[in-house]
């Protein structure tokens, strides 16, 4: 699980680059934002 402050810059690009370079696939991805705390969560499988 990845988490970071909610905003315009998300960690998706570095994550997908890491997966690509390791010759893997993203089979499942879930996203959630805690609006009150302004935190972005992403679960990748």
Instruction: Please give the helix or strand (H or E) that residue 31 lies within, else none.
Output: strand 29-34
CA 20/CA 33 separation, integer angstroms: 25
pLDDT at res. 36: 96
pLDDT in tens, the chain (45 residues): 778 888 877 666 777 888 889 998 889 989 999 999 999 898 888
pLDDT at res. 9: 72
Sort 12 into a burial class: Cβ within 10 Å, 0-12 / 13-18 / 19+: middle
Count of domains forming the chain: 1
Domain containing 36: what range?
2-44
Instruction: Please give the helix or strand (H or E) that residue 17 lies within, else none.
Output: helix 12-21
pLDDT at res. 10: 64
């Amino acid at each position: 699980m990845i988490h970071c402050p909610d905003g315009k810059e998300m960690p998706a690009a570095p994550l997908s680059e890491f997966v690509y370079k390791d010759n893997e696939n993203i089979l499942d991805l879930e996203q959630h934002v805690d609006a009150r705390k302004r935190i972005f969560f992403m679960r990748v499988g």
